[in-house]
Chains A and B, each alone.
Chain A
Amino acid sequence: MSAPLLDIANLRVSFPTPNGRVDVVKGLSLTLGRERLGIVGESGSGKSMTGRAILRLIRPPGRQAADRMIFDGIDLQAQGERAMRRLRGARISMIMQDPKFSLNPVMTVGAQIAEALRVHERLPRRDLRARVTEMLEAVRIHDPERVARMYPHEVSGGMGQRVMIAMMLIPRPDLLIADEPTSALDVSVQAQVLDLIDELVRNNGMGLILISHDLGLVARYCDRILVMNAGEVVESCAASELQNASHPYTRGLIAAVPRMEETRDELPVLDRSEWSGT
């Protein structure tokens, strides 16, 4: 097997609080090829911070450190800010959660997409425009030239998220991190957006890290799954093996998923005493 696309060993992210520094990611390790990895966990489990740490975007006073963080042969921890900037977007990109907040309100959609490409490649204006149009078509936006001139408040949530996908994929990165890409969207468009991400990732042979709190969704779209709880990976398995998960937290999560054929009065509550050790 060739060298993995991403190899992380013992990643830690911490933030200061009035009661001292708190680790929000406590020694996460993962290796990723050109495959689809899902990271699941509840709010505050450190999954989003893991995504940001890969891009080295933990802002002070937050801190990150790892024994090893290698992307495609590049030691991410040894890169300066300038070198990191060349990697961000161009080789590792991230789809943010809510297009309502993650698109700049005073720049047109087209300008924001074009910028993602422009900071990495010098292109004549005409080519730049053509690439933006082509990318908008790739994310199934009709009348891309008109949409490119619109402002974020003029597009719907689903369309906003497709714009976000276009923006993050236009420099053709090798690794895409999708941080809760559909949790701000209507259920009716969630599947469309995920199918789109899935298709683009497969066609371009990219690696994908899908961060979500939705176990079912991750199981459907990913090859492998990491389950995180309180900053630690508690379970790592193939998506197809999820039913055989051994850790009590994972079992608890699975048990909490309602099923079509059953009738339950109450969903089971996670019994945290089983693994928290106190």
Chain B
Amino acid sequence: MGATLGSGSIRMRRLGRGAGALGGFVVVTALTFLGLLAITFFIGRVVPIDPVLAVVGDRASQAQYDTARAAMGLDRPLAVQFLSYVGEVLRGDLGHSITTNRPVADDLARVFPATLELATLGILIGVVLGVPMGVWAAARQGSWIDQAIRVFALLGYSIPAFWLGLVGLAIFYAGLGWVAGPGRVDIYYDGLVPVHTGLLLVDSAIAGNWTVFFNALDHLALPATILGFFSLAYIARMTRSFMLDQLGQEYITTARVKGVPEWRVIWVHAFKPIRVPLITVIGLSYAGLLEGSVMIETVFSWPGIGNYLTQALLNADMSAVLGATLVIGSVFILINKLSDVLYRVLDPRSRQ
């Protein structure tokens, strides 16, 4: 009886700590986001692009210029401007893009899912192949398998993305015809399924339109594999080094002394502790992919955020640049916070 009571109180305490952690988590995330807004706002003020000039043109009179400036609210004190900026962002108003002549928020809602879809598929490939490869290489350290995996991963580090994209297209699309070409879908399927999430695979599945689904998958295959290869290279290398570190630990010997089978020594005793650092690595890789690989998006004419941001930068389209920066920053915050939560779940030592 006493023991059951004791266990109940431990559980309650862990639960209480969980609730406290959640509250702290929300506050910290909100503060980080505010910091991000301050940075984008600040960037918007210091870049040598005059937003008023961009609107009125350089032949406007001083009076016209001043009127426009007042209309844009730029004559108010900085603190007031910042507050109204925060308010606008919270209302989902990110300004107007001078390139596309549409609200930036609408543009981002269109381009970000394209990148999200590609990046998610890419990171899945990277994790599903990269982690086992890293573990395998570490378990057979020094063998030819280890060498082969290391060379393969090194290639992922050293081959330029655009080259791989072009060569991939030349071979698998133009040459062999195994995959579809650039773009998200064949042009005659474009806009066929109603947009719910912006993710073509999801939207076409919702619509039950499997022709579009498989066409989109066909288009995703090559760029996602290439992105997957790059994250695989990084993930496999890091996994290998984390595993080697673990395999040298005393508790691995303890497990072997107990007569634990080798697969269990590797996948349970050594792998469990590395899940935490591995999550950081995967999270950062994913965030990197979500930033949009400009090279890959350019080569594959992928209407993603990398492409959008590049175009915006080249056209000095500040609202679009800041909006995209905000989205990318938010993704980083979100992924970091998510890995923090996973830490707590996976590492008993961090649940203090």
Residues on A facing B (Cβ under 8 Å): 52, 55, 57, 81, 85-90, 93-94, 96-98, 101-108, 115-116, 119-120, 143, 145-146, 149, 151, 153-154, 164, 167-168
State the CA gap A8–B351 with chains docked (Å).
48
Interface of chain B: mostly helix, strand, loop or mixed:
helix
The answer to whether B272 touches A107, judged by C-beta atoms less than 8 angstroms apart, is yes
Specify the chain A residue showing the minimal Cβ separation from B11. A149
* A102 lies within 8 A of B251 (CB): yes
Tell whether, in the assembled complex, residue B257 and residue A88 are in contact, meaning their CB atoms are under 8 Å apart: yes
Q: From residue A61, how far is it (CB to closest CB) to chain B in Å?
A: 9
CA distance A104 to B274 in the complex (A): 12
Cβ contacts under 8 Å, A154 to chain B: 348
Pairs A-B, 9 closest by C-beta atoms: A89-B259, A88-B259, A101-B250, A89-B258, A151-B348, A102-B250, A116-B258, A104-B251, A145-B3
Q: Are A89 and B257 in contact (CB under 8 A)?
A: yes
Known contacts A106-B273, A107-B272: does B348 contact A96 (CB below 8 Å)?
no
Separation in Å of the B267 CB from the closest CB of chain A?
A: 13
**Contact call B273/A146, Cβ cutoff below 8 A:** no
Binding site for A on B (CB under 8 A): 3, 6-7, 10, 249-251, 253-262, 264, 268-269, 272-273, 346-349
Pairwise interchain contact A149-B269, C-beta atoms closer than 8 A:
no
A residues within 8 A CB of B257?
55, 57, 88-89, 93-94, 96, 168
Shortest CB–CB separation between residue A121 and chain B, in angstroms? 11
Tell me the bound Cα distance from A75 to B10 in angstroms.
49
- List chain B residues, Cβ under 8 A from A88: 256-259
Q: How far is the CA of A154 from the CA of B262 in the complex (A)?
A: 28
Contacting residues, chain A, for B268 (C-beta < 8 A): 107
A120 and B348 form a contact (CB under 8 A): no
Q: Are B269 and A104 in contact (CB under 8 A)?
A: yes
With A106-B348, A149-B7, A153-B348 already in contact, the answer to whether A57 and B272 are too (CB < 8 A) is: no
Closest chain B residue, CB of each to CB of A93: B257
- How near does chain A come to B307, taking the closest CB pair, in angstroms? 42
Which partner residue on chain B sits nearest A60 by CB separation? B142
Contact of B253 among A57, A107, A168 (CB under 8 A): A57
Cα distance A90–B255 in the bound complex, in angstroms: 12
Residue of A nearest to B274 (CB): A106
A57–B260 alpha-carbon span in the complex (Å): 12
CB of A110, distance to nearest CB on chain B (Å):
12
Q: Are A104 and B273 in contact (CB under 8 A)?
A: yes
A115 CA to B205 CA in the complex, in Å? 44
User: Which residue of chain A has its CB nearest to the CB of B352?
Assistant: A153
Name B251's contact: one of A89, A101, A149 (CB within 8 Å).
A101
A-B contact pairs, 16 of them (CB 8 A): A81-B262, A85-B259, A89-B258, A98-B250, A101-B249, A101-B250, A101-B251, A102-B251, A106-B272, A106-B348, A106-B349, A108-B348, A115-B260, A116-B259, A146-B10, A151-B349
